Chain A
């Protein structure tokens, strides 16, 4: 496939937005300006970016505890997200939810929550609504390798297949579920074939290669839009930071049990470095152009952080607001 320069540079920009935004949170977390648990997405940017690029604004996504990238790639507002992480009134969930509860209904970000697999069946329901209303939309359910332990995933696969629902099961396999490496939670490191018994179209792709992610997601979206039912995609990727916070080890629990050489080999496969080389080797972008993009993203992220810091916290007297509509 050939792509326009703009399209490719926008992919790069989106990955950078996610990375720089995530990394901008490290200092405030360590300084305890941010209190809520934050599960950084650094390292997995190509997945959210590639899938996001294959979707339209009208499409839906649901996420999990590690969803800053999903939210941004689907069009979520960055200042509102950072303000949410800071627990501020003008955060996307009005400071009631924090990092693990992001939402942007106008962009199709219908729900992001930390109960593992908690949104898979909700995504299923959103896909069902699309089918009943005969809309031309697709739902993506993002979850991790850890979520493959929950029965609701298999129940949802079955129902989605049975009713040919327009849903993409997007599994980000980063090889770890908190403190457990994948071989301690499954007999097989491969995940994508769990969809086979349900006769669901399924793929396994390099989740650090944004173009491969995009192309697979695009195929899956077309499959769904054509009424051919669900698709399952396993993305192979890796998180660069701790399970929660910048580094599990500096959080005091010394729970990052990932081997150093494994971390290093994945750092060499940094999705941003890979894509930057691609853009330069194929003479799509110059170093100068990419630096300009980086500078503008840094400006954006700084402004978003300033907005968040300078925003007010929710008023104590509003504690009981929003329980009901």
Chain B
């Protein structure tokens, strides 16, 4: 379909989405802490200030609440703001503009005003950064009506989903993960969209359905590859969007395999994995041949010490072990 694709890494795929959207639409602008500094945002903002100037690419003081609110307000007033938080943890100061305001806005105003804003939040963990610099909070956003939440795992999806997020008339939480930033993929040069709310089958199989998203999709793919070598064919779905969920894709797969494992990069209680598990129990109960299993973080804050980090974060080995428990 696309003739001119080439290898691009994750950060540069995001960069290209922002650049092309800013070129195409004068109302799009980018704001947030560190857009000037690769220390914060890697290569995602390369060249943007040079091309669009400091009026449309705004590095900000440490003022998450006000800056996020300003992004929401600008979007109410006709702009399309992208506000970046280089760590999800910092966005906790900005829950009011995101949840009370942006998420509720369209509904509580009877559909007369919408908020085409993108909250771009980067998960940045590992490296003994500990509790306040390691959190993955996607489930909290997924809980809230009025927010769409996307979480790509590949450069191709990152570009297409960011374009869709910016074009969307509603508030979208775009969550990515520093651990993805060096991954490479074929990415078309032209602008394209990945639809919000659509997952993708990365591997077809009949033994079991494995559902994942964001960085855990990378670990999942490794698990799928290893299991394939052992003659086990897992059907692997990368959700790409966690709100709204692509339930049709999940249900159809579970109806075929009868078994489900979900790998989610955040805490188990109240997780997206828990939601998927409940939905499948509600809608596919008669097809299930084994208990649904989840691979999540334990309900524990992120530790510092590497000895604890090594068991805290889940890998392909945890996924394989869990899959084998119900095969």
Contact = CB atoms under 8 A, between A and B. Distances in A.
Contact of B65 (A151, A243, A315): A151
A101 B39 contact: no
A88 B306 CA distance: 9
Contact of B304 (A87, A115, A116): A87
Interface stretch (A8-16, A134-142, A180-188, A223-231): A180-188
A148 B62 CA distance: 8
Contacts of A167: none
A313 B66 contact: no
A152 B305 CA distance: 30
A212 to B, nearest CB: 28
A117 B62 contact: yes
B299 to A, nearest CB: 7
Given A87-B305, A97-B131, A248-B39, A320 B62 contact: no
A35 B308 contact: no
A98 B300 contact: no
A116 B132 CA distance: 11
Nearest to A254: B38
Contacts of A149: 60-63
7 contacts: A37-B128, A88-B305, A97-B131, A101-B132, A151-B66, A180-B61, A313-B305
A51 B96 CA distance: 36
Size category, B interface: 35 or more
Contact of A96 (B62, B66, B127, B303): B303
Interface string A166-178: 0000000000011
A186 B305 contact: no
**Which of B40, B59, B61, B312 has the largest number of chain A CB atoms within 10 A?**
B61
B310 interface: yes
B27 interface: no
Contacts of B63: 149-151
- Where chain A touches its partner, the secondary structure class is loop
Contact of A95 (B65, B299, B300, B303): B303
Nearest to B89: A115
Contacts of A318: 308
Interface residues of A, number: 47
Interface of A: 35-37, 84, 87-89, 93, 95-98, 100-101, 113-118, 146-152, 177-180, 184-186, 243, 248, 253-255, 313-316, 318-320, 323
B129 interface: yes
Given A98-B130, A253-B38, A314 B307 contact: yes
B311 A146 contact: no
A259 B64 CA distance: 28
Given A150-B62, A150-B93, A35 B307 contact: no
Nearest to A185: B61
B106 interface: no
Given A101-B132, A180-B61, 20 more contacts: A87-B128, A87-B305, A87-B306, A87-B307, A95-B307, A97-B304, A101-B304, A114-B132, A114-B133, A147-B62, A148-B61, A178-B34, A179-B39, A185-B62, A186-B61, A248-B39, A254-B38, A320-B298, A320-B300, A323-B301
A69 to B, nearest CB: 20
A185 B62 CA distance: 8
Nearest to B303: A96
Nearest to A86: B305
Contacts of B90: 115-116
Given A149-B61, A316-B311, A35 B306 contact: yes
B294 interface: no
A116 B63 CA distance: 9
B100 interface: no
B61 A253 contact: no
7 residue pairs, one from A and one from B, having the closest CB atoms: A149-B61, A87-B305, A98-B304, A36-B128, A313-B307, A95-B305, A179-B37
Interface of B: 34, 36-40, 59-66, 89-90, 92-93, 127-133, 298-301, 303-308, 310-312
Most buried by B among A115, A184, A320: A115
A268 to B, nearest CB: 28
Contact of A179 (B36, B93, B129): B36
B305 A314 contact: yes
Contacts of A113: 132
A102 B39 CA distance: 24
Contacts of A186: 61
B181 to A, nearest CB: 13
B299 A96 contact: no
Contacts of B310: 316
A37 B303 CA distance: 13
Contacts of B129: 36-37, 98, 100
A117 B66 CA distance: 14
B300 A255 contact: no
B65 A319 contact: no
Contacts of B61: 146, 148-149, 177, 180, 185-186
Contacts of A248: 39
A191 to B, nearest CB: 13
Contact of A314 (B131, B132, B308): B308
Contacts of B300: 319-320, 323
Contacts of A319: 298, 300, 303, 308, 311-312
B39 A96 contact: no
A285 B281 CA distance: 78
Nearest to A180: B59
A255 B37 contact: yes
Contacts of A115: 89-90, 92, 132
A117 B65 CA distance: 12
A210 to B, nearest CB: 28
Interface centre among B62, B92, B131, B304, by most chain A C-beta atoms within 10 angstroms, is B304
A253 B306 CA distance: 23
Nearest to B36: A179
A96 B132 contact: no
